[in-house]
Amino acid sequence: MSDELLSETAGAIAGAIGPERDEILREMDERAEREKFPTVGPDVGGWLSLLARAVEAERIFEFGSGFGYSAYWFARALDTDGNVVLTETDARNLNDAREYFERGGLADRATFEHGDAIEVVDRYEGPFDVVLLDNEKDRYVEAFDAVRGKLREGSLVLADNAVTAGSIDADDVQGLLAGDSRPAATAASSGIAEYLSQVRAAEAFETSLLPLGEGVAVSVRL
């Protein structure tokens, strides 16, 4: 079985056996497909929910939230006193996220922040139990540096698009990680490779790759 086919098959099975989507998530998935809006999709969404439950998350922070898809998966895993902070520079997307959460009965588990996530996180004290990096790919290192001091032992940092997406070329990421010179690599590819190199080398963190969707780097604070 080819790697590509294995990835497709694994994604399909992950979606089939993962948590059941509610009406709101199905609507979000339909919107994402219709508008070609990038989301993590239900296969990765199920993992976000599972990982949040596994670490008994109470506080979650997202660097980039779009219209709230990944945050909605997180919120479903939280107790009623839990909280996920959504950050988004597009006010319309953030308002849409708020509406989805209200309709899904999860608005009391969410904080909606309009603005640059790296500026927003400075206003929050830790610890966060789970952090999702899904902002500009060439700013992942900046985001990690902004939040790493707000984590506890056992906290997770999840970085979406660790393999591919949009202007990210998987071959360039792999080559850069191996130390090759890739002068034609995009800023996004270079940013992902730089982040993966730095988080792997960071003391008190252990990292591996969840090979679903467009790749999620999962790092645990030791």
CATH 2.40.50.100 for domain 3-221: no
Whole-angstrom CA distances from 124 to 132, 163, 174 are: 15, 30, 34
Residue-wise pLDDT for 161-202, tens only, equals 999 988 999 999 999 999 999 999 999 999 999 999 999 999
Percent of the chain at pLDDT exceeding 70: 97
Residue 153 has pLDDT above 60, yes or no: yes
> Which whole number is the average pLDDT over 6-31?
87
Residues in contact with 129: Cβ distance below 8 Å, sequence separation at least 6, in sequence order? 52, 55, 56, 57, 58, 59, 60, 152, 154, 155, 156
Under a CB-based contact definition with an 8 Å cutoff, are residues 88 and 65 in contact?
Answer: yes
**What residue ranges do the domains of the chain occupy?**
3-221
Residue 1 has pLDDT above 50, yes or no: no
